[in-house]
Structure 1
Amino acid sequence: MKEKNESGGGYVRADQIDLKSLDEQLQRHLSKAWTMEKNKNRNDNEDHRPIIINNPPNTRRVTRQEWEIDPSKLIIKGAIARGTFGTVHRGIYDGQDVAVKLLDWGEEGHRSDAEIASLRAAFTQEVAVWHKLDHPNVTKFIGATMGSSELHIQTENGQIGMPSNVCCVVVEYCPGGALKSYLIKNRRRKLAFKVVIQLALDLARGLSYLHSEKIVHRDVKTENMLLDKTRTVKIADFGVARLEASNPHDMTGETGTLGYMAPEVLNGNPYNRKCDVYSFGICLWEIYCCDMPYPDLSFSEVTSAVVRQNLRPEIPRCCPSSLANVMKRCWDANPDRRPEMDEAVTMLEAIDTSKGGGMLPIDQPQSCLCFRRHRGP
């Protein structure tokens, strides 16, 4: 997503994005739109005579933001996932199957102003990042609404109204579910090597696109990747994504998920898009092995070992060297030695899958017994 600065040149640095200002602008716009609509309805009820408005040609009285949905076209159905601050529902928008992410800012008095402000800022940030993206390996953003009183959840017994402080993001529905769930289902029998490379390429191409748009996802993990009906991987969840800062020192702090976070992020050091490359390397291992990285270690043990002992998931002996090389390069402790994502795409495209090379199931006699102890690369 390319955002121009006020002078019209260059990209906006991450530290120059004023989320509070963006949020206030959105609220002012929506309040103005609702007020105009209410006044229109009141005038129509009081006087049925035609009203002539001298508007310029081809303009509308009420203008929506390009990312705003029409709540009257949205049908929200049952929940398919739940989180700390909201739920994801199946839905239909304008006749299309969608997923609806509902964020509840909390009933008045149940959350502090700071908590609500944080949630509103996260929502605004996610919309700002997501709504301009267009790539086959990125979940398609359809629209969003903030603070609408027209949202209802459809149940067997009728409709349940939602509080007016609930906001929602509407995206394409991916019936294949999370990539992580798909890998867990195939934990015993593993995946054909051709499927491994196809899934890896989908993810790599999506990340390459994001980086070309100056976006760092910052939470790359198989749980945040969805599968459509053709088993195409689509990157989702841009809740912590940011425009990449021109100065790495402007991007610090532990953001992401332990087990996938790069050493520089865990250490609180400055970082850039190469933190996504590291996380991709871990995902690549996970896709090949259909297993969890570091299953026997606590969060604190993982953090310490990754930073101080160069701990990485153990690559099975049956893994072709061409793929193992991509993993090792991507999770290198030195960000400068990691490839760019477009280079990772090229390396994966060059791998020959015609002769097999997938992970061998553990119950096969010729299987490689690699999971005795987790070591570094």
Structure 2
Amino acid sequence: MRRIKCPELNLPPPQRNVALAVPLPLPPSSSSSSAPASSATKSLSELERVNRIGSGAGGTVYKVIHRPTSRLFALKVIYGTHDDSVRRQISREIEILRSVDHPNLVKCHDMFDLSGEVHVLLEFMDKGSLEGAHVSQEDELAHLSRQILSGLAYLHGRKIVHRDIKPSNLLVNSAKNVKIADFGVSRILAQTMDPCKSSVGTVAYMSPERINTDLNEGGYDGCAGDIWSLGVSVLEFYLGRFPFAVSKESEWASLACAISISSPPEAPATASEEFRHFISCCLQSDPPKRWSAQQLLQHPFVLKSTGGPNLPQMLPPHRRLPSSSPPAS
């Protein structure tokens, strides 16, 4: 594949402290905004690790069982030993996220602090993620898109920007519910705060203006960025491949140039007019021209959804991870 050259493009790679892998400081939460959710467990000692189900730069996720109730959860262990100020930042975000309650968002139940190491207890999604999924039937894709958009509309309505929408952060359970996961990179936006500027998220699904800050005069609308990421993900589901002319595993410069220089990808001519228009409403180079999540929920493509997706066909082959030894009691 020919390498794309962009000699005049100012695209510095994102600087991220992997040791922390937590969001930037959050605005103070209102004491009246939400009541603390009831704790799902009494202590971390009541959780037994079953196996490891995922890993990333920010931490490792385990399938765990709550012994007194035999209920399954996902436990995300955030890497590193954090100082008091960082743990307070994490605690503030977790408290806000515990108040988030929507059928298309993975529920955050509790947080534990074990010798400075942070453990976050999450809803367990037994069918895994949509990474590698191929959804060629438009009716199934419309139903899938509607669920994701419902979760995004709820988040954006509460001024929460996810900033890492991608197939691996879209999870499915046996009830065929699709839910947005990984709020470890989400951030609450207050009207008085500066726009999102931290480098979280996966490059392949970042919007052009987020990669190249010279675009849009350096401004960044996090909600519009989420819509771009949604559009790339949905088009990838339909095509069965990453929609840009480079691999999403390519080096930073190739991905950055492909996303910020080339025209936005389009749905193929073989797709319906509604689907092609839906994708174009998400993948606009100019952020203000992208439709909001609420607007997209009323798009003809989404409204034509008549039923749930065929879950076995939608899910990629299951990839087992090595079991993890249970924690010492």
**TM-score with structure 2 length normalisation?**
0.72
Aligned ranges for residues 364-375 of structure 1 at < 5 Å?
A: none
- Which of 111, 118, 121 aligns to 1:167? It is 118
- 2-structure distance, mates of 1:338, 1:77: 43
Which residue of 2 is the match for residue 341 of structure 1? 293
Determine helix, strand or coil for the equivalent of 2:203: coil
Q: Do the aligned partners of 1:255 and 1:265 also contact (CA within 8 Å) in 2? A: no
Report the Cα offset of residue 116 of structure 1: 5.4
Give the direction of change, closer, same or farther, for the CA distance of 1:313–1:122 in structure 2 (3 Å limit): farther
Deviations 1:42-69 (A, max 9, x none): xxxxxxxxxxxxxxxxxxxxxx985684
Deviations 1:299-334 (A, max 9, x none): 312212322333x33422211110111111111111
Determine helix, strand or coil for the equivalent of 2:136: coil
Give the direction of change, closer, same or farther, for the CA distance of 1:197–1:122 in structure 2 (3 Å limit): farther
Report the Cα offset of residue 298 of structure 1: 3.7
Identity of aligned residues (%): 26
Which residue of 2 is the match for residue 102 of structure 1? 77
Matched, 1:331 2:298: no
- 2-structure distance, mates of 1:118, 1:314: 45
Matched, 1:301 2:254: yes
Determine helix, strand or coil for the equivalent of 1:180: coil
Give the direction of change, closer, same or farther, for the CA distance of 1:119–1:286 in structure 2 (3 Å limit): farther
- 1-structure distance, mates of 2:136, 2:126: 19
Matched, 1:206 2:206: no
Matched, 1:17 2:27: yes
Report the Cα offset of residue 349 of structure 1: 3.1
Q: Do the aligned partners of 1:129 and 1:242 also contact (CA within 8 Å) in 2? A: no
Q: Do the aligned partners of 2:87 and 2:116 also contact (CA within 8 Å) in 1? A: no
- 1-structure distance, mates of 2:240, 2:288: 28
Report the Cα offset of residue 266 of structure 1: 1.0
Matched, 1:274 2:224: yes
Aligned ranges for residues 238-257 of structure 1 at < 5 Å?
A: 238-246=183-191, 249-257=194-202
Give the direction of change, closer, same or farther, for the CA distance of 1:233–1:282 in structure 2 (3 Å limit): same
Report the Cα offset of residue 17 of structure 1: 2.1
- 2-structure distance, mates of 1:196, 1:300: 31
Determine helix, strand or coil for the equivalent of 1:196: helix
Which segments of 5 or more consecutive residues in structure 2 lack a partner in the other structure?
1-23, 30-35, 308-329
Deviations 1:218-269 (A, max 9, x none): 1111111110112221001011111124257432243321121112211232
Matched, 1:193 2:138: yes
Determine helix, strand or coil for the equivalent of 1:346: coil
Give the direction of change, closer, same or farther, for the CA distance of 1:121–1:321 in structure 2 (3 Å limit): farther
- 2-structure distance, mates of 1:173, 1:293: 30
- Which of 322, 325, 330 aligns to 2:274? It is 322
Q: Which of the pair has the greater relative contact order for Cα pairs under 8 Å at 6+ separation? A: 2
Matched, 1:90 2:63: yes
- 2-structure distance, mates of 1:77, 1:119: 29
Q: Do the aligned partners of 1:180 and 1:222 also contact (CA within 8 Å) in 2? A: yes
Which residue of 1 is the match for residue 320 of structure 2? none
Q: Do the aligned partners of 2:26 and 2:92 also contact (CA within 8 Å) in 1? A: no
Which residue of 1 is the match for residue 127 of structure 2? 176
Name the count of aligned residue pairs: 266
Which residue of 2 is the match for residue 365 of structure 1? none
Report the Cα offset of residue 92 of structure 1: 1.6
Q: Do the aligned partners of 1:218 and 1:240 also contact (CA within 8 Å) in 2? A: yes
Determine helix, strand or coil for the equivalent of 1:259: helix
Report the Cα offset of residue 168 of structure 1: 0.9
Which residue of 2 is the match for residue 123 of structure 1? 90
- 1-structure distance, mates of 2:193, 2:255: 24
Matched, 1:136 2:146: no
Which residue of 2 is the match for residue 285 of structure 1? 235
- Which of 162, 166, 187 aligns to 1:217? It is 162
Report the Cα offset of residue 351 of structure 1: 3.1
Aligned ranges for residues 227-242 of structure 1 at < 5 Å?
A: 227-242=172-187
Letter of the aligned partner of 1:146 in structure 2? D
- 1-structure distance, mates of 2:270, 2:86: 45
Which segments of 5 or more consecutive residues in structure 1 lack a partner in the other structure?
1-13, 20-63, 107-114, 148-163, 355-377
**TM-score with structure 1 length normalisation?**
0.63
- 1-structure distance, mates of 2:49, 2:256: 40
Aligned ranges for residues 352-363 of structure 1 at < 5 Å?
A: none
Which residue of 2 is the match for residue 70 of structure 1? 42
Deviations 1:180-234 (A, max 9, x none): 14x0xx4xxx532221111111111110111111111111111111101122210
Letter of the aligned partner of 1:175 in structure 2? D
